[in-house]
């Protein structure tokens, strides 16, 4: 039992570290020589990279951040199919029940890592792209449906934050519609709420009518405080 619990704990820690890998920070630092946390919204996510470096680097960071989420969940699937580990799974553990819970915890750990990176003094992005990767790995239908909501809202509003919030609200609804396991539904609720909380300053600007649209400049953190 101890070995099995240790393996599960290691997966959760690795998921957090994967989420913590500062893709946007490194990209901007290497290409422009600046700290992205001091530019635009102060986020290290793909949207701020887009505003700082343009579409190419923004899309690159978006894909890599999503892949971090995919990999975090793939590690859980690998653990449950890794033959040497099978001998250490206690007979009382039902893999069909255990796996969704570990997927959920690893997913939340990766989201936390992305927004509170250990490599950046517990700063980071708003966990949208990595959440999309996690959803695609959990259920590609829900991942694509969430991406569809994001795309529709951004096409209409041209506001990324509003689209991210709409996607976060849609996730638990899609989880229920597609009859996902209870842990996944709880992930949709907890992850969605966390993403929305990470956008609280954006929500304030949305209510004030000052949230920038795609193509508009964003004030620096000093200008918004």
The DSSP string of 11-54 is HHHHHHHHHH--HHHHHHHHHHSS-GGGSTTS--SHHHHHHHH-
Cα–Cα distance, 191 to 201 (Å, whole number): 18
Residues of the chain with pLDDT under 70: 216-225
Q: Where are the domains of the chain?
A: 1-208
pLDDT tens digits for range 85-141: 777 777 877 878 889 999 999 999 999 999 999 999 999 999 999 999 999 999 999
Determine the 3-state secondary structure of 210 from DSSP. coil
Quote the pTM value.
0.91
């Amino acid at each position: 039992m101890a070995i099995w619990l240790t393996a599960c704990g290691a997966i959760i820690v690795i998921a957090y570290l994967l989420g913590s890998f500062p893709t946007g920070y490194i990209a901007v630092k290497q290409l422009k020589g600046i700290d992205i946390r001091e530019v635009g919204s102060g986020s290290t996510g793909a949207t701020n990279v887009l505003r700082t470096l343009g579409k190419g680097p923004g899309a690159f960071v978006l894909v890599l951040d999503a892949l971090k989420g995919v990999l975090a969940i793939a590690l859980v699937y690998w653990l449950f199919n890794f033959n040497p580990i099978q001998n250490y799974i206690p007979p009382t553990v039902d893999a069909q029940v255990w796996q969704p819970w570990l997927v959920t915890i690893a997913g939340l750990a990766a989201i936390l890592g992305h927004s509170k990176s250990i490599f950046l003094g517990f700063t980071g992005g708003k966990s949208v792209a990595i959440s999309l990767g996690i959803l695609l790995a959990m259920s590609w239908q829900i991942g694509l449906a969430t991406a569809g909501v994001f795309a529709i809202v951004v096409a209409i509003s041209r506001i990324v934050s509003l689209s991210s919030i709409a996607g976060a609200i849609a996730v638990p609804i899609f989880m229920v519609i597609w009859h996902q396991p209870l842990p996944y539904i709880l992930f949709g609720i907890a992850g969605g709420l966390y993403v929305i909380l990470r956008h609280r300053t954006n929500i304030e600007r949305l209510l004030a009518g000052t949230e920038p649209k795609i193509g508009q400049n964003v004030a620096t953190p000093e200008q918004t405080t």
